[in-house]
Amino acid sequence: MLDHLSFTAPEPKTIAGAKGDWELVIGLEVHAQVASKAKLFSGASTEFGAEPNSNVAFVDAAMPGMLPVINEFCVAQAVRTGLGLKAAINLRSAFDRKNYFYPDLPQGYQISQLYHPIVGEGEVIVDMAPGVARRVRIERIHIEQDAGKSIHDMDPNMSFVDLNRTGVALMEIVSRPDIRSPEEAAAYVVKLRQIMRYLGTCDGNMQNGNLRADVNVSICPPGAYEKYIETGDFSHLGTRCEIKNMNSMRFIQQAIDVEARRQIAIVEDGGKVVQETRLYDPDKGETRSMRSKEEAHDYRYFPDPDLLPLEIKQAWVDDIAASMPELPDEKKARFVRDMGLSEYDAGVLTADVENANFFEEVAQGRDGKQAANWVINELFGRLNKEGLNIETSPISSGQLGGVIDLIAKGDISGKIAKDLFEILWTEGGDPAQIIESRGMKQVTDLGAIEKAVDEIIAANPGQVEKAKQNPKLAGWFVGQVLKATGGKANPAAVNELVSKKLGE
Phi, psi (rounded to 5 degrees) for 128? -100, -35
- 10 Å Cβ neighbour count for 273? 18
Return the closest-CA partner of residue 25 out of 206, 273, 296, 250: 273
What number of chain residues touch ligand ADP (CB under 6 A)? 16
Please state, in angstroms and rounded to a whole number, the distance separating the CA atoms of residues 475 and 279: 67
Select from 42-50, 61-69, 127-135, 173-181 the region that touches ligand ADP (CB under 6 A): 173-181
Q: For residue 304, what are the contacts with CB-CB under 8 A and spacing of at least 6?
A: 68, 95, 96, 97, 111
Bridge partner residues of 149 (DSSP): 162
Residue nearest to ligand ADP (CB): 27
Least separation, in Å, of the C-beta of 264 and ligand ADP?
14
Select from 24-32, 365-373, 468-476, 482-490 the region that touches ligand ADP (CB under 6 A): 24-32
Least separation, in Å, of the C-beta of 41 and ligand ADP?
23
Return the closest-CA partner of residue 324 out of 149, 152, 191, 199: 199
Q: Residue 80 or 98: which CB sits closer to ligand ADP?
A: 98
| 334 belongs to the binding site for ligand ADP (CB under 6 A) | no
Alpha-carbon torsion angle 130, 135, 138, 144, nearest 10: 0
Q: For residue 412, what are the contacts with CB-CB under 8 A and spacing of at least 6?
A: 403, 406, 420, 435, 440, 441, 442
Least separation, in Å, of the C-beta of 111 and ligand ADP?
17
Least separation, in Å, of the C-beta of 285 and ligand ADP?
21
| 218 belongs to the binding site for ligand ADP (CB under 6 A) | yes
Give the residue, chosen from 86, 116, 149, 176, that forms a contact with ligand ADP under the rule CB under 6 A. Answer: 176
Give the residue, chosen from 216, 254, 277, 287, that forms a contact with ligand ADP under the rule CB under 6 A. Answer: 216
Select from 116-124, 172-180, 246-254, 456-464 the region that touches ligand ADP (CB under 6 A): 172-180
* Positions in 239-258 near ligand ADP (CB under 6 A): 240
DSSP conformation letters of 30-88: EEEE---SB-SSS--B--TTPSTTSS--TTTTT-TT------HHHHHHHHHHHHHTTPP
Least separation, in Å, of the C-beta of 184 and ligand ADP?
13
| 432 belongs to the binding site for ligand ADP (CB under 6 A) | no
Please state, in angstroms and rounded to a whole number, the distance separating the CA atoms of residues 422 and 213: 42
Give the residue, chosen from 78, 143, 163, 174, that forms a contact with ligand ADP under the rule CB under 6 A. Answer: 174
Please state, in angstroms and rounded to a whole number, the distance separating the CA atoms of residues 217 and 254: 12
| 113 belongs to the binding site for ligand ADP (CB under 6 A) | no
| 175 belongs to the binding site for ligand ADP (CB under 6 A) | yes
Q: Crossing angle for the helix pair 249-268 and 182-199, nearest 10 degrees?
A: 150
| 237 belongs to the binding site for ligand ADP (CB under 6 A) | yes
Site map (CB under 6 A) of ligand ADP, residues 26-45, x = contact: xxxx----------------
Q: Residue 122 or 238: which CB sits closer to ligand ADP?
A: 238
| 126 belongs to the binding site for ligand ADP (CB under 6 A) | no
Q: Residue 26 or 118: which CB sits closer to ligand ADP?
A: 26
- Per the document, the length of the chain is 504
Select from 57-65, 169-177, 246-254, 487-495 the region that touches ligand ADP (CB under 6 A): 169-177
250: left (phi over 0), alpha (psi -120 to 50) or beta: alpha
Select from 72-80, 170-178, 358-366, 399-407 the region that touches ligand ADP (CB under 6 A): 170-178
Select from 233-241, 424-432, 445-453, 464-472 the region that touches ligand ADP (CB under 6 A): 233-241
Select from 92-100, 168-176, 344-352, 478-486 the region that touches ligand ADP (CB under 6 A): 168-176
Least separation, in Å, of the C-beta of 97 and ligand ADP?
16
- 10 Å Cβ neighbour count for 388? 14
DSSP conformation letters of 323-365: TPPPPHHHHHHHHHHHH---HHHHHHHHSSHHHHHHHHHHHTT
Q: For residue 119, what are the contacts with CB-CB under 8 A and spacing of at least 6?
A: 78, 79, 81, 82, 85, 87, 88, 89, 90, 138, 140, 141, 142
Select from 71-79, 171-179, 187-195, 489-497 the region that touches ligand ADP (CB under 6 A): 171-179
Q: Point out which residues bind ligand ADP (CB under 6 A).
A: 25-29, 174-177, 216-218, 234, 237-238, 240
